[in-house]
């Protein structure tokens, strides 16, 4: 017998084999049985935990909707059509993103998408000319909050889009979703401009602004910032955010705690991964900072 095969002396072998036959024959008895089969397969060392997580992610994508992973409207980084070029450049540089919705009179009027590379190309090829953002805009794709992620992923691939504006049932803009948001539900974290280098847990991004791994322990956070945040109800910074909200947060949501503001940069339906932390005051405990 192959070393990779389950032992014939193992408990529940017959049940496990029946599940294999059921799945391979194309007749799994529902999602729960399929998930049990995948878990058993991992325990039998047919594949590792990373593969297990990806397979479960594929199943979740078929059930999840755009509203589950979108960046909320209030947290969108947008460019205004009539803003001066210098202001546009500052927003692009400060955000570190590569694609931006461009609005007209308000956030419900998205007139197109600007790619940072198109703006840079203009300044290289048309040095000295006045920049008109309308000449660089690409069409914006719009999707409803209720669209399933697996359907959206197919549309992204077919249309070669990387970003879509999310609209509610009344046609108003409710958020933004990218192809990375969808893929991370399957493969987990994808490195981007926010990722922390090496084994660091906290990395300074700018004055009073930091990128922090959600699994950073409160003790380590306190030592870095010379604070005394309580860890009585949670052990990690991500736990602090979840405790304050009373639920798993969506990407882009913010929580104020003492002199700190925590913004979720990356999360999924299972846990928080990455946070941006802004320090507004100099108080050394977890109490509210009314002057910040």
Q: Spell out the domain ranges in the chain.
A: 68-187, 202-279
pLDDT digits (tens, 9 = 90+) for 17-53: 555 545 445 555 566 666 676 677 667 666 666 666 6
In percent, the amount of the chain with pLDDT more than 70 equals: 72
Q: Domain 202-279 is of which CATH architecture?
A: 2-Layer Sandwich (3.30)
Its pTM stands at: 0.58
Over the chain, what is the mean pLDDT? 78
CATH of 68-187, one of 3.10.580.10, 3.40.50.300, 3.40.50.720, 3.30.70.890: 3.10.580.10
Q: Is the pLDDT of residue 70 over 50?
A: yes
Report d(CA 276, CA 95) in Å as an integer.
12
Residue 52: predicted pLDDT = 65
- DSSP strand E in the chain: where? 71-72, 79-80, 99-103, 110-115, 142-144, 163-167, 173-178, 202-206, 209-213, 254-257, 260-267, 272-279
* Token pair 């400060």: residue: 94
Report d(CA 218, CA 10) in Å as an integer.
42
pLDDT digits (tens, 9 = 90+) for 97-147: 889 999 998 889 999 999 988 888 887 887 777 888 888 899 999 999 999
Query: 92 is written with which tokens?
Result: 């692009």
Pairing of strands 173-178, 163-167: antiparallel
CB-based burial, 58-82: b 16+ in 10 Å, e otherwise: eebbeebebbbbbbbbebbbbbbbe
Residues facing residue 80 across a β-bridge = 103
Report d(CA 267, CA 290) in Å as an integer.
29
């Amino acid at each position: 017998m192959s070393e990779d095969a389950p032992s014939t002396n193992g408990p529940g072998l017959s049940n496990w084999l029946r599940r294999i036959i059921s799945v391979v024959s194309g007749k799994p008895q529902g999602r729960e049985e399929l998930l049990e089969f995948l878990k058993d397969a991992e325990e039998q060392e047919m594949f590792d935990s990373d593969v297990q997580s990806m397979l479960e992610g594929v199943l979740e994508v078929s059930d999840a909707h755009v509203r589950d992973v979108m960046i909320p409207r209030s947290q969108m980084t947008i460019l205004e059509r009539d803003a001066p070029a210098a202001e546009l450049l500052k927003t692009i540089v400060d955000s570190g993103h590569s694609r931006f919705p461009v609005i007209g009179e308000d956030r419900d009027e998205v007139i197109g998408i600007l790619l940072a590379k198109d703006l840079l190309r203009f300044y290289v090829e048309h040095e000295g000319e006045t920049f008109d953002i309308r000449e660089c805009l690409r069409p914006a794709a719009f999707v409803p909050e209720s669209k399933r992620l697996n359907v959206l992923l197919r549309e992204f691939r077919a249309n070669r889009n990387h970003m879509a504006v999310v609209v509610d049932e009344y046609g108003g803009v409710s958020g933004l979703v990218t192809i990375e948001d969808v893929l991370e539900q399957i493969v987990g974290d994808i490195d981007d401009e926010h990722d922390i280098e090496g084994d660091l847990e906290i990395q300074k991004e700018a004055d009073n602004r930091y990128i922090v791994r959600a699994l950073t322990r409160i003790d380590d956070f306190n030592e870095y910032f010379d604070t005394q945040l309580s860890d009585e109800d949670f052990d990690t910074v991500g736990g602090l955010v979840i405790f304050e909200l009373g639920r798993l947060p969506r990407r882009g949501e913010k929580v104020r705690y003492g002199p700190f503001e925590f913004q979720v940069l990356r999360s999924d339906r299972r846990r928080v991964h990455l946070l941006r932390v802004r320090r507004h005051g100099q108080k050394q405990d977890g109490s509210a900072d009314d002057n910040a």
